Amino acid sequence: MALTADRNTPHKDGELLVVGVAATAIVFAGGMAAANAAGFITPAADAAGLTVMGMAEEQVDNSAGADGDLSVAIRRKKTFIFKNSGSNAVTVALHGKNVYVEDDETVSSAGGTNSIVAGKCLGIVTQGVLVEIS
């Protein structure tokens, strides 16, 4: 049986997304950005209901706005260098394993209260931890 294409489905690579920012949130350029339970972007933190989406490409201050009043570009499907935790440092033993959000610029070897996954550890360098967010 020959397969045929029934339709030309539009697509994009998903590397750069533009998503609405959560009410009262300030997202910082270069910080980990997470979607809250409603789907709006906020700085990554060890807070219930967050899902890390990637790294914010720019600073967006929606501190005076409602959900989605402003949007931010989120870069994903890359490996980013984030700070290593001072209290729960990521080590080479975690290569290929999940690391966790401590705050929007720091990753940890152990999940905090909510165990928010930042991504996979791909290495440790002088500047911090190589974290793959896909």
Residues 118-129 have pLDDT tens digits of 999 999 999 999
Pair (112, 63) in one structural domain: no
Contact between residue 76 and residue 133 where contact means Cβ atoms under 8 Å apart: yes
Contact between residue 35 and residue 47 where contact means Cβ atoms under 8 Å apart: no
Pair (82, 71) in one structural domain: no
Domain span at 93: 78-133
Pair (68, 110) in one structural domain: no
Rounded CA separation 118/134 (Å) = 10
Average pLDDT over residues 23-28: 98
Write the CB contacts of 73 (distance below 8 Å, at least 6 apart in sequence).
16, 17, 18, 56, 57, 58
Domain boundary among 75, 94, 125: 75
Task: Assign 25 a pLDDT band (cuts: 50, 70, 90).
Answer: very high
- Domain tally for the chain? 2
| In the predicted structure, residue 107 carries a pLDDT above the cut 90 | yes
Please give the sequence-ordered ranges of beta strands (E in DSSP) within the chain, or none if there are none.
16-20, 26-27, 32-35, 41-43, 51-56, 60-61, 71-75, 78-84, 98-103, 106-108, 117-125, 128-133
Q: What is the pLDDT of residues 59-104, one digit of tens each?
A: 999 999 999 999 999 999 999 999 999 999 999 999 999 999 999 9
Pair (47, 67) in one structural domain: yes
Rounded CA separation 66/130 (Å) = 34
Q: CA dihedral defined by 77, 83, 87, 89, rounded to 10 degrees?
A: 60
Domain boundary among 39, 58, 75: 75
Pair (92, 69) in one structural domain: no
